[in-house]
Homo-oligomer: A and B are copies of this chain.
Amino acid sequence: MPDSVFKKMEAMIRSRQQEIAKTLGELDGKKFTMDEWFREDGSGGGVSAVIEDGNVIERGACNVSVVSGHLTEAGYKKMRENHGDLQWNGNPIPYRVCGLSMIMHPHNPHAPTVHLNYRYFECDRPDGQPMSCWFGGGADLTPSYLYDDDAVYFHQVLKAVCDKHNQSYGEMKEWCDQYFRNHHRNEGRGIGGIFYDDLTTDKPMEVVDFATDALDSFLKVYVPILKERKDLPYTKEEKAWQAFRRGRYVEFNLLHDRGTAFGLMTPGARVESILCSMPRFAEWKYQYKPEPGSREAALVEVLETPINWADKKQSTYPLPPI
Protein backbone atom coordinates (compact mmCIF):
# COMPACT_ATOMS: atom_id res chain seq x y z
CA MET A 1 0.00 0.00 0.00
CA PRO A 2 2.67 2.61 0.82
CA ASP A 3 3.96 2.42 -2.73
CA SER A 4 0.56 3.22 -4.16
CA VAL A 5 0.24 6.10 -1.67
CA PHE A 6 3.55 7.53 -2.81
CA LYS A 7 2.62 7.13 -6.48
CA LYS A 8 -0.77 8.71 -6.03
CA MET A 9 0.66 11.65 -4.13
CA GLU A 10 3.44 12.12 -6.66
CA ALA A 11 1.08 12.01 -9.63
CA MET A 12 -1.26 14.45 -7.90
CA ILE A 13 1.39 17.09 -7.18
CA ARG A 14 2.89 16.76 -10.66
CA SER A 15 -0.45 17.39 -12.34
CA ARG A 16 -1.28 20.33 -10.04
CA GLN A 17 2.07 21.93 -10.73
CA GLN A 18 1.29 21.91 -14.45
CA GLU A 19 -2.15 23.35 -13.83
CA ILE A 20 -0.95 26.12 -11.51
CA ALA A 21 1.90 27.15 -13.80
CA LYS A 22 -0.44 27.17 -16.81
CA THR A 23 -3.26 29.09 -15.12
CA LEU A 24 -1.09 31.70 -13.40
CA GLY A 25 1.11 32.01 -16.49
CA GLU A 26 -1.97 32.82 -18.60
CA LEU A 27 -3.26 35.28 -16.02
CA ASP A 28 0.15 36.94 -15.90
CA GLY A 29 0.80 36.99 -19.64
CA LYS A 30 4.28 35.60 -19.07
CA LYS A 31 4.95 31.87 -19.09
CA PHE A 32 6.58 30.03 -16.23
CA THR A 33 9.97 28.53 -17.08
CA MET A 34 10.01 24.82 -16.30
CA ASP A 35 13.41 23.47 -15.20
CA GLU A 36 13.67 19.75 -14.81
CA TRP A 37 16.62 18.69 -12.68
CA PHE A 38 18.13 15.42 -11.54
CA ARG A 39 20.54 14.69 -8.74
CA GLU A 40 23.83 13.44 -10.05
CA ASP A 41 23.75 10.34 -7.87
CA GLY A 42 20.40 9.26 -9.25
CA SER A 43 18.60 9.84 -5.95
CA GLY A 44 15.83 11.91 -7.45
CA GLY A 45 15.08 15.28 -8.91
CA GLY A 46 12.25 17.57 -9.65
CA VAL A 47 10.76 20.30 -11.74
CA SER A 48 11.04 23.96 -10.77
CA ALA A 49 8.42 26.21 -12.35
CA VAL A 50 9.46 29.82 -11.96
CA ILE A 51 8.12 33.18 -13.02
CA GLU A 52 10.17 36.34 -12.56
CA ASP A 53 9.49 39.94 -13.52
CA GLY A 54 6.14 38.97 -14.95
CA ASN A 55 3.30 41.40 -15.61
CA VAL A 56 1.38 40.50 -12.47
CA ILE A 57 3.76 38.33 -10.48
CA GLU A 58 7.08 39.83 -9.44
CA ARG A 59 8.52 36.51 -8.47
CA GLY A 60 6.94 33.13 -8.00
CA ALA A 61 7.77 29.47 -8.01
CA CYS A 62 5.83 26.24 -7.96
CA ASN A 63 8.28 23.42 -7.43
CA VAL A 64 7.94 19.68 -7.30
CA SER A 65 10.64 17.42 -5.96
CA VAL A 66 10.78 13.67 -5.58
CA VAL A 67 13.92 12.53 -3.83
CA SER A 68 15.27 9.76 -1.67
CA GLY A 69 18.27 9.59 0.60
CA HIS A 70 19.40 8.91 4.11
CA LEU A 71 18.52 11.09 7.05
CA THR A 72 21.57 12.13 9.01
CA GLU A 73 21.09 12.88 12.69
CA ALA A 74 20.97 16.63 12.06
CA GLY A 75 18.42 16.25 9.27
CA TYR A 76 16.41 13.84 11.37
CA LYS A 77 16.22 16.34 14.23
CA LYS A 78 15.22 19.21 11.94
CA MET A 79 12.59 17.22 10.13
CA ARG A 80 10.76 15.66 12.99
CA GLU A 81 9.71 16.88 16.35
CA ASN A 82 6.52 14.96 16.94
CA HIS A 83 7.27 11.30 16.34
CA GLY A 84 7.98 9.78 19.71
CA ASP A 85 7.86 6.31 18.19
CA LEU A 86 10.86 6.94 15.96
CA GLN A 87 14.16 7.02 17.79
CA TRP A 88 17.54 7.77 16.30
CA ASN A 89 19.69 4.65 16.66
CA GLY A 90 22.92 6.03 15.26
CA ASN A 91 22.45 4.89 11.66
CA PRO A 92 21.33 7.06 8.77
CA ILE A 93 17.68 6.31 7.98
CA PRO A 94 16.63 5.65 4.36
CA TYR A 95 13.77 7.90 3.29
CA ARG A 96 11.88 9.15 0.26
CA VAL A 97 9.78 12.23 -0.02
CA CYS A 98 7.70 13.97 -2.63
CA GLY A 99 6.32 17.45 -2.32
CA LEU A 100 5.05 20.53 -4.02
CA SER A 101 6.08 23.91 -2.66
CA MET A 102 4.73 27.13 -4.05
CA ILE A 103 5.13 30.81 -3.38
CA MET A 104 3.86 33.80 -5.32
CA HIS A 105 4.94 37.39 -4.72
CA PRO A 106 2.79 39.72 -6.88
CA HIS A 107 3.92 43.18 -8.01
CA ASN A 108 0.92 45.04 -6.71
CA PRO A 109 1.24 45.81 -3.00
CA HIS A 110 -2.52 45.33 -2.65
CA ALA A 111 -2.26 41.73 -3.89
CA PRO A 112 -1.12 39.27 -1.21
CA THR A 113 1.83 36.92 -1.30
CA VAL A 114 0.70 33.33 -0.99
CA HIS A 115 2.57 30.20 0.02
CA LEU A 116 1.57 26.57 0.12
CA ASN A 117 3.18 23.20 0.28
CA TYR A 118 1.98 19.63 0.36
CA ARG A 119 4.35 16.73 0.93
CA TYR A 120 4.52 13.06 1.80
CA PHE A 121 7.43 11.49 3.61
CA GLU A 122 8.30 7.83 4.09
CA CYS A 123 11.19 6.28 5.93
CA ASP A 124 12.37 2.93 7.19
CA ARG A 125 12.02 2.51 10.89
CA PRO A 126 15.33 2.21 12.68
CA ASP A 127 13.86 -0.55 14.87
CA GLY A 128 13.26 -2.73 11.80
CA GLN A 129 9.50 -2.31 11.91
CA PRO A 130 7.64 -1.58 8.66
CA MET A 131 7.85 1.79 7.05
CA SER A 132 6.79 4.93 8.82
CA CYS A 133 5.12 7.71 6.87
CA TRP A 134 3.72 11.12 7.46
CA PHE A 135 2.21 14.09 5.70
CA GLY A 136 2.73 17.78 5.89
CA GLY A 137 1.22 20.74 4.20
CA GLY A 138 -0.88 23.82 4.27
CA ALA A 139 -1.32 27.25 2.80
CA ASP A 140 -0.94 30.73 4.21
CA LEU A 141 -1.57 34.26 2.99
CA THR A 142 0.71 37.26 3.51
CA PRO A 143 -0.80 40.60 2.51
CA SER A 144 1.02 43.93 2.71
CA TYR A 145 -2.37 45.64 2.84
CA LEU A 146 -5.16 43.89 4.62
CA TYR A 147 -8.43 43.22 2.82
CA ASP A 148 -10.80 41.44 5.19
CA ASP A 149 -12.65 40.10 2.20
CA ASP A 150 -9.56 38.27 0.91
CA ALA A 151 -8.63 36.95 4.34
CA VAL A 152 -12.11 35.63 5.11
CA TYR A 153 -12.40 34.02 1.67
CA PHE A 154 -8.99 32.35 1.96
CA HIS A 155 -9.80 30.92 5.39
CA GLN A 156 -13.38 29.92 4.68
CA VAL A 157 -12.45 27.89 1.63
CA LEU A 158 -9.70 26.09 3.56
CA LYS A 159 -12.17 25.44 6.37
CA ALA A 160 -14.65 23.95 3.88
CA VAL A 161 -11.92 21.58 2.63
CA CYS A 162 -11.05 20.55 6.20
CA ASP A 163 -14.71 20.03 7.10
CA LYS A 164 -15.29 17.82 4.05
CA HIS A 165 -12.42 15.55 5.08
CA ASN A 166 -13.08 15.60 8.83
CA GLN A 167 -9.78 17.36 9.46
CA SER A 168 -9.63 19.95 12.21
CA TYR A 169 -9.49 23.39 10.63
CA GLY A 170 -9.20 24.88 14.13
CA GLU A 171 -6.07 22.95 15.01
CA MET A 172 -4.48 23.48 11.61
CA LYS A 173 -5.25 27.19 11.69
CA GLU A 174 -3.71 27.54 15.13
CA TRP A 175 -0.58 25.60 14.18
CA CYS A 176 -0.24 27.80 11.09
CA ASP A 177 -0.37 30.95 13.24
CA GLN A 178 2.15 29.47 15.64
CA TYR A 179 4.53 28.12 13.03
CA PHE A 180 4.65 31.05 10.58
CA ARG A 181 5.62 33.51 13.25
CA ASN A 182 8.63 35.77 13.42
CA HIS A 183 9.21 34.98 17.07
CA HIS A 184 12.10 37.44 17.29
CA ARG A 185 9.63 40.23 16.45
CA ASN A 186 6.57 38.68 18.10
CA GLU A 187 4.70 39.09 14.85
CA GLY A 188 3.04 36.69 12.44
CA ARG A 189 4.44 36.35 8.94
CA GLY A 190 1.01 36.86 7.51
CA ILE A 191 -2.64 36.28 8.27
CA GLY A 192 -2.31 32.51 8.34
CA GLY A 193 -4.27 29.71 6.76
CA ILE A 194 -3.77 26.07 7.66
CA PHE A 195 -0.66 24.06 8.39
CA TYR A 196 -0.20 20.44 9.38
CA ASP A 197 3.03 18.63 9.93
CA ASP A 198 4.13 15.19 11.03
CA LEU A 199 0.61 13.97 10.32
CA THR A 200 0.55 10.20 10.70
CA THR A 201 -2.45 8.04 9.88
CA ASP A 202 -3.51 4.45 9.30
CA LYS A 203 -5.52 5.65 6.31
CA PRO A 204 -2.93 7.47 4.20
CA MET A 205 -5.09 7.44 1.06
CA GLU A 206 -7.60 9.61 2.88
CA VAL A 207 -4.91 12.15 3.64
CA VAL A 208 -3.86 12.14 -0.02
CA ASP A 209 -7.48 12.92 -0.89
CA PHE A 210 -7.49 15.75 1.64
CA ALA A 211 -4.23 17.16 0.28
CA THR A 212 -5.66 16.91 -3.24
CA ASP A 213 -8.72 18.98 -2.38
CA ALA A 214 -6.65 21.44 -0.36
CA LEU A 215 -4.26 21.94 -3.25
CA ASP A 216 -7.15 22.16 -5.70
CA SER A 217 -8.68 24.93 -3.65
CA PHE A 218 -5.66 27.15 -4.22
CA LEU A 219 -6.47 28.38 -7.73
CA LYS A 220 -10.14 28.73 -6.81
CA VAL A 221 -9.19 31.16 -4.06
CA TYR A 222 -6.08 32.92 -5.26
CA VAL A 223 -7.11 33.65 -8.85
CA PRO A 224 -10.19 35.69 -7.83
CA ILE A 225 -8.17 37.58 -5.20
CA LEU A 226 -5.37 38.29 -7.65
CA LYS A 227 -7.82 39.48 -10.33
CA GLU A 228 -9.44 41.78 -7.77
CA ARG A 229 -6.15 43.37 -6.63
CA LYS A 230 -3.64 43.17 -9.45
CA ASP A 231 -4.66 46.39 -11.19
CA LEU A 232 -5.40 48.59 -8.18
CA PRO A 233 -3.51 51.88 -8.33
CA TYR A 234 -0.71 52.20 -5.79
CA THR A 235 1.84 54.75 -4.65
CA LYS A 236 5.62 54.60 -4.34
CA GLU A 237 5.16 54.58 -0.58
CA GLU A 238 2.84 51.58 -0.75
CA LYS A 239 5.38 49.74 -2.88
CA ALA A 240 8.10 50.53 -0.33
CA TRP A 241 5.89 49.20 2.48
CA GLN A 242 5.51 45.98 0.50
CA ALA A 243 9.31 45.67 0.16
CA PHE A 244 9.66 46.33 3.88
CA ARG A 245 7.15 43.58 4.66
CA ARG A 246 9.05 41.29 2.30
CA GLY A 247 12.12 41.87 4.44
CA ARG A 248 10.15 40.23 7.24
CA TYR A 249 9.29 37.39 4.88
CA VAL A 250 12.99 36.85 4.23
CA GLU A 251 13.67 36.87 7.96
CA PHE A 252 11.11 34.14 8.56
CA ASN A 253 12.29 31.91 5.76
CA LEU A 254 15.98 32.12 6.64
CA LEU A 255 15.75 32.26 10.44
CA HIS A 256 12.81 30.06 11.33
CA ASP A 257 11.54 27.86 8.52
CA ARG A 258 12.38 24.22 9.23
CA GLY A 259 11.81 23.26 5.61
CA THR A 260 14.35 25.77 4.31
CA ALA A 261 16.93 24.71 6.90
CA PHE A 262 16.32 21.02 6.18
CA GLY A 263 16.57 21.61 2.45
CA LEU A 264 19.77 23.60 2.58
CA MET A 265 21.56 21.10 4.81
CA THR A 266 20.64 18.16 2.57
CA PRO A 267 23.68 17.06 0.55
CA GLY A 268 23.19 17.86 -3.12
CA ALA A 269 20.42 20.36 -2.34
CA ARG A 270 19.24 22.49 -5.25
CA VAL A 271 19.77 25.83 -3.54
CA GLU A 272 18.07 27.93 -6.20
CA SER A 273 14.88 25.89 -5.96
CA ILE A 274 14.83 26.18 -2.17
CA LEU A 275 15.52 29.92 -2.13
CA CYS A 276 12.87 30.57 -4.76
CA SER A 277 10.85 31.53 -1.71
CA MET A 278 12.79 34.78 -1.46
CA PRO A 279 11.02 37.84 -2.82
CA ARG A 280 12.48 39.63 -5.83
CA PHE A 281 13.03 42.76 -3.69
CA ALA A 282 13.24 43.37 0.04
CA GLU A 283 13.99 46.38 2.21
CA TRP A 284 14.99 47.05 5.78
CA LYS A 285 14.55 50.28 7.68
CA TYR A 286 15.77 51.00 11.20
CA GLN A 287 13.04 51.04 13.83
CA TYR A 288 10.38 51.79 11.27
CA LYS A 289 6.85 51.90 12.65
CA PRO A 290 3.83 52.88 10.56
CA GLU A 291 1.72 55.89 11.53
CA PRO A 292 -0.87 55.02 14.17
CA GLY A 293 -4.27 54.65 12.54
CA SER A 294 -2.82 54.00 9.09
CA ARG A 295 -3.59 50.95 6.94
CA GLU A 296 -0.03 49.81 7.52
CA ALA A 297 -0.52 49.96 11.29
CA ALA A 298 -3.79 48.03 10.94
CA LEU A 299 -1.92 45.19 9.28
CA VAL A 300 0.72 45.05 12.01
CA GLU A 301 -1.98 44.88 14.66
CA VAL A 302 -3.47 41.78 13.06
CA LEU A 303 -0.03 40.21 12.62
CA GLU A 304 0.61 40.63 16.32
CA THR A 305 -2.76 39.16 17.32
CA PRO A 306 -4.19 36.62 14.86
CA ILE A 307 -7.87 36.76 14.00
CA ASN A 308 -10.37 33.93 13.57
CA TRP A 309 -11.16 34.83 9.98
CA ALA A 310 -13.42 31.87 9.30
CA ASP A 311 -15.85 33.04 12.00
CA LYS A 312 -16.40 36.38 10.29
CA LYS A 313 -19.37 36.85 8.00
CA GLN A 314 -19.06 35.47 4.52
CA SER A 315 -16.81 37.26 2.04
CA THR A 316 -18.22 38.80 -1.10
CA TYR A 317 -16.37 36.25 -3.26
CA PRO A 318 -18.70 33.39 -4.21
CA LEU A 319 -17.66 30.21 -2.36
CA PRO A 320 -16.44 27.67 -4.94
CA PRO A 321 -17.54 24.02 -4.95
CA ILE A 322 -15.14 21.95 -2.80
Contacts and interface: CB of A to CB of B under 8 A. Distances in A.
A264 B255 contact: yes
A251 B261 CA distance: 12
Contacts of A251: 254, 275
A287 interface: yes
Given A255-B264, A264-B255, A279 B272 contact: no
B272 A276 contact: no
Residue with the greatest number of chain B CB neighbours at <10 A, chosen from A61, A271, A275, A284: A284
A52 B287 CA distance: 11
For this chain, the copies found in one complex come to: 2
B185 A282 contact: no
B281 A283 contact: yes
Nearest to A260: B255
B59 A271 contact: no
Contacts of A184: 264, 269, 271
Given A255-B254, A271-B184, A282 B285 contact: no
Given A50-B286, A280-B285, A286-B52, A250 B255 contact: no
Nearest to A184: B264
Given A250-B250, A278-B284, A280-B285, 10 more contacts: A59-B286, A61-B286, A254-B254, A254-B255, A255-B264, A272-B286, A280-B283, A280-B284, A281-B281, A282-B283
List the 10 closest pairs (A to B, CB-CB), nearest first: A254-B254, A278-B284, A184-B264, A50-B286, A272-B287, A282-B282, A254-B255, A52-B286, A184-B271, A281-B283
